Structure 1
Amino acid sequence: MEVAGCARRLISTPPANNLAVIIKPTIRLTGIDTMRQKGCWPNFKTTLSEQFQLENIRLGHYPVEDFYKSQWQSADRSFWFLLYRWCVAGFYIAAGIACAIALFDNARFFIYLTDWGFILCMIATTYGAVLTTLWHFDRVDGVEQGWSIKIFWIIHWSALVLSCVITLMFWTLLLPLEPSLGGDPYNILQHAANSIVMIMDHFVVAFPSRILHFIYPLAIGMVYLLFSLIYYFAGGTGPGGVSFIYPILDWGESPLMACLSVIVAVICSFIFAFILFWLYKLRVYLYKTFANAQKPHTIHY
């Protein structure tokens, strides 16, 4: 009551020098309004100009602890993220072993880009689970970014981009040539679940993405291209004794189609790197929006 009386007296008392008393209103902002006030609303042109600087090919990022944590955890260490990490790794390990046993075919399992990509996903998620475990139990330096982090970043990004490229090319280019493959549960596992789980993981982790890092999955693709050429000229065979690994990579009968397939894969690698980068920006934006919505923000006019 005393405070209210003081306020009434202050308002009713004529101010000195006939200056009006201005009451500064307090406005409560929503999370999105706060994002705009803080300049966190993504700027397409500025972001792209920054991303296409050559320095973004490098593998430096701070804070390093982002590679051990989830975007969504509030504490420094999270048991639930650690559990999640090992569940995803366990999925790829179990699925990879199952596919290798069912599709081994006299070691032909290892000649397919699909299986290269799936093994890469298994390595990336297991690697990530090990890093998170070391961080959780305080067995790793969270300040210095060593080569273990850089290698993990390359493997994870390459697995993510390649899984998307493999999924797209299977369902759009390969399946029309061999429709019987569509109902195979192993094909669904390797050409649908692989990319779905990796994209989900992309929304969970805390470390960033960079468009120019598309050169790393592209390099792995070029290694596979070289392998397919060597395999063909060395007389290697696919299922049923055919002279190619994939119908779209038949270097003997359809070299033009093979070259076009390679060009499409290169273009898709860049496109998916671009899309996945903006999904990363969306992840950060949603996190900041959600985090700011949990607490009131005030500004004074």
Structure 2
Amino acid sequence: MVKCSRKGFSLSDLWVSSHDKLSDFYLSAWQRGESPVPLLLVRLALAAVASGILIWSLVAGAGPYWLIYLTNWGLLLVTMMTLSGLLVSCMSLCRPLTDAVELPWYVSMYWLMYNITVSIAIMITLLYWILLFDPEETNDGSSQGDIWLDVATHGINSCITLVEVLAARTPARLLHVYQPLGVGLWYAAFSAVYYAAGGTDGNGYPFIYEILDWRQGARAGTVVAASTACLIVIYVLVWGTTLCREKLSLATIRTTSHTLPLTPPDPHTQIV
């Protein structure tokens, strides 16, 4: 571990390989005991909902263009986050997990997916309902199933991640902001390369999303820059929400630490 300051900052803090308390990844913020079951049940429900939405989307619209859309990237991310979180909870139930210098690989995988997915899912929801949603198209004859699928893929996805944020003790580090940013910029680069290679959407238009039409490079670049700034703000808000969750949980539920050593009796006050 390479120390970079007197306060103990290390390069490992930039990655998801180390954390002081392993229990933060499988215990709920709203429990007193050490059982992984409460959060396991929550994650089981979240994984079932996320997997159901993913399957619904695939059945309703799977095709050669399915993977080009950011919405569907988000569905995959949410599903992987919930399943990896469920794996962490199951592993903690099957065998005791002890604190170590390095986190187990499946905990690191979950933490990485969590860092990326929460902000990306919220960003997808905001982009869709603010910039892409057209109520006139809904009134022009979209089936009821299509409307509810839109709600599920652009609304419930964010709700799933927010439940995970509020229910779990998963930590958030400002240093990890580059992780969702990397995925967001990766998608922007993909859309540009896809356009340059002559790719089209399902209707034959030379763009994936009209607001990201690279024929108008200045506008597309502005959208990418604004989305990047918004993603940073979202991540900071998630980080702040995590801090508030921890303070409230410690003040109201987890009032006694299970990690502190027992205090030996005072020989001057001990009754013989």
Structure 1 length-normalised TM = 0.74
Match in the other structure for 2:209 = 246
Give the CA deviation at 1:202.
Answer: 0.2
Corresponding letter in the other structure for 2:222: L
Greater displacement, 116-125 / 63-72:
63-72
Pairwise CA distance, 1:140: 4.9
CA shift for structure 1 position 265: 1.2
2:45 to 67, 87, 93: 87
Name which of 194, 197, 202 aligns with 2:165: 202
1:77 equivalent to 2:40? Answer no
Residue correspondence of structure 1 range 39-50 to structure 2 within 5 A: none
Maintained 8 Å contact 1:181/1:187: no
> In the aligned structure 2, how far is the partner of 1:181 from the partner of 1:164?
22
- How far is 1:97 from its partner? 0.7
**1:146 and 1:224 mapped to 2: Cα distance?**
29
Conserved in 1, the CA contact under 8 Å of 2:201 and 2:207? yes
Shift in Å at residue 54 of structure 1? Answer: 7.5
Q: Sort the Cα spacing of 1:64 and 1:79 in 2 relative to 1 into closer, same or farther, 3 A.
A: closer
Report if the CA contact (8 A) 1:250-1:258 is conserved.
yes
Task: For 1:231-242, list aligned pairs within 5 A.
Answer: 231-242=194-205
Q: How far apart in 1 are the matches of 2:148 and 2:219?
A: 28
| Aligned counterpart in structure 1 of residue 230 of structure 2, from 253, 264, 268 | 268
Task: Give the whole-Å Cα distance in 1 for the aligned partners of 2:61 and 2:118.
Answer: 23
Query: Distance between the aligned counterparts of 1:285 and 1:215, measured in 2?
Result: 25
Unaligned runs of 5+ in 1: 1-49, 295-301
Q: Which residue of 1 aligns with 2:217?
A: 255
Question: Which letter maps to 1:57?
Answer: L
- In the superposition, the TM-score normalised over structure 2's length comes to 0.81
- In the TM superposition, 1:1-301 aligns within 5 A as 56-59=13-16, 60-104=18-62, 106-138=63-95, 140-143=97-100, 144-175=102-133, 179-180=136-137, 184-252=147-215, 254-291=216-253
CA distance in 1, matches of 2:37, 2:255: 25
Q: 2:268 aligns to what? A: none
- Separation of aligned partners in 2, 1:292 and 1:156: 23
Unpaired runs of 5+ residues, structure 2, are 1-6, 257-272
Q: Secondary structure at the match of 1:223?
A: helix
How far off its partner does 1:172 sit? 1.4
Alpha-carbon distance in 2 for matches of 1:275, 1:141: 31
Q: Provide the rounded CA distance (Å) in 2 between the counterparts of 1:232 and 1:293.
A: 55
The answer as to whether partners of 2:118 and 2:158 remain within 8 angstroms in 1 is yes
Indicate conservation of the 8 Å contact 2:88/2:110, yes or no: no
Contact 1:56-1:212 at 8 Å conserved across structures: yes
| CA RMSD between the two structures | 2.4
Q: Measure the CA separation in 1 of the matches of 2:96 and 2:246.
A: 27
Return the offset for 1:56: 4.6
Question: How much does 1:192 deviate?
Answer: 1.0
Could you tell me how far apart the structure 1 residues matched to 2:138 and 2:193 are?
26
Higher relative contact order (CA 8 A, sep 6+): 1
